[in-house]
Amino acid sequence: MMLDGQASMEARCAEEGPGPGNFRAELEDPLQRPKTQQQPISQARRWCSGWRRCAVLGTLALLAGASVGTWLLVLYLRPAALQPTLGTLEDGEMTLSCSEASGEEALRPSLPRTVSFRIKPENFLLEVQVRPRLDWLLVCYEGWSSALGLRICQRLGHLSLTHHKGAYLSDIKLSNSQEFAQLSSEQGGLPKEVWWPRDSCISGRIVSLKCSECGARPLASRIVGGQAVAPGRWPWQASVALGSRHTCGGSVLAPHWVVTAAHCMHSFRLSRLSSWRVHAGLVSHSAIRLHQGAMVEKIIPHPLYSAQNHDYDVALLQLRTPLNFSDTVGAVCLPAEDQEFPRGSQCRVSGWGHTDPSHTAHTSDTLQDTVVPLLSTKHCNSSCIYSGALTPRMLCAGYLDGRADACQGDSGGPLVCPDGDIWRLVGVVSWGHGCGGPNRPGIYAKVAEFLDWILNTAQVH
């Protein structure tokens, strides 16, 4: 689906390089992209030390020229029937005036998961769908373990397991057609393709599972082109401060864990750990003086983070004291395993960054948010936008005609997308060229690419 106004902008794209760029941290850092190394042209005397060598080179050049001429003649005389024919564009498609980035992977068809899970919100009963069947089966308690419960919660986008038990079938009103599934015991309790349909459960119990709460907005009722938000609208929004100064945004994953951008911490890597504070539940920065904030115990940047091209631009902050969850402080959900949000998804970015790209002296005192649609990575890598600068660990969101965007001071903050009644952290504000300019949408670290690292890091620490 093409957004209004984008088609004309794409058609007018000029074939130009991406130009200088910047992080979206409070402190502007130029985008340092490796420059193309041009080899100097050697002079003829370096190649031809004598007339014999020159004669040999001349003969080789004549042979090469003859070969190229023969090849061109064959192409010219080839029958028209052997020439490839150009297909016509289907309705709704369009050509671009800028070339697509080389090396872009072809779109692969997504295969449906063999096993899917869900939790019934009214009674927390776990259900499993085993393809090719389409019905949802309640899970027998036989073979169940807390380790399996944690793994399923993480697959569903939660950081941890809160509670699990075996609920007695006699206490639950079920339809006569309800069927069940049991985990095969010889597979070590892993949630793979080892679920077997059953007419009943031998133990008379089924699994009740509660995962850590996330993605809800109990009090839900700008960034460039954005608007001020009410308290509790984005309860996972955090301000990462160095002393009393807001430096970057962050997203609360759990009482002890906040995710932000690696370049935020890299820019101030010489600062003392004790100087960092995380503030959550705030809308106005003027209220920070009334809150002590949470001290940071550990800063864990992704081990593959590159300051040159912003790749792997995520970091985890482990807090010394846990955040107190409330109506205004809560966790955001991670993407579920294998979950994809399509191009055009209407997502939200929030932060305290600059609200006017022409006035970069101060950040906003009030939390701002705005809608930004997800854009195709393939198109954002085209020559008229970012010329192949996006890696598979990045995603692109915003408008090709400008309008709204993240800006300096928003780095590390959340890009969230709705999934039913909950919100999932799809991106972390990373970098861009300017703020809200034409053909310069925002670039975000793609959270789905870091799920294993986030979950493993949180468990290890």
* Active-site annotation, residues: 263, 313, 411
Q: Are 315 and 259 in contact (CB under 8 A)?
A: yes
Query: In terms of Cα–Cα distance, which of 418, 416, 452, 414 is closest to 430?
Result: 414
Residues 6+ apart with CB under 8 A from 413: 237, 248, 249, 250, 251, 260, 349, 350, 351, 353, 406, 428, 429
CA distance 347 to 254: 22
Structure token digits, residue 388: 């192949």
CA distance 451 to 335: 8
Q: Are 198 and 182 in contact (CB under 8 A)?
A: yes
Residue type, 424: R
Query: In terms of Cα–Cα distance, which of 247, 258, 253, 240 is closest to 317?
Result: 258
CB neighbour class for 178 (10 Å; exposed up to 12, middle 13-18, buried from 19): middle
Residues 6+ apart with CB under 8 A from 171: none
CA distance 11 to 97: 6
Residue type, 37: Q
CB neighbour class for 368 (10 Å; exposed up to 12, middle 13-18, buried from 19): buried
Q: Say how many C-beta atoms besides its own lie within 10 A of residue 241's C-beta.
A: 19
CA distance 459 to 461: 6
Structure token digits, residue 48: 């031809």
Q: Are 307 and 263 in contact (CB under 8 A)?
A: yes
Tell me the CA distances in angstroms from 98 to 387, 391, 433, one per residue in order. 10, 19, 18
* Cis omega (within 30 of 0) for bond into 34: no
Residues 6+ apart with CB under 8 A from 20: 30, 31, 433
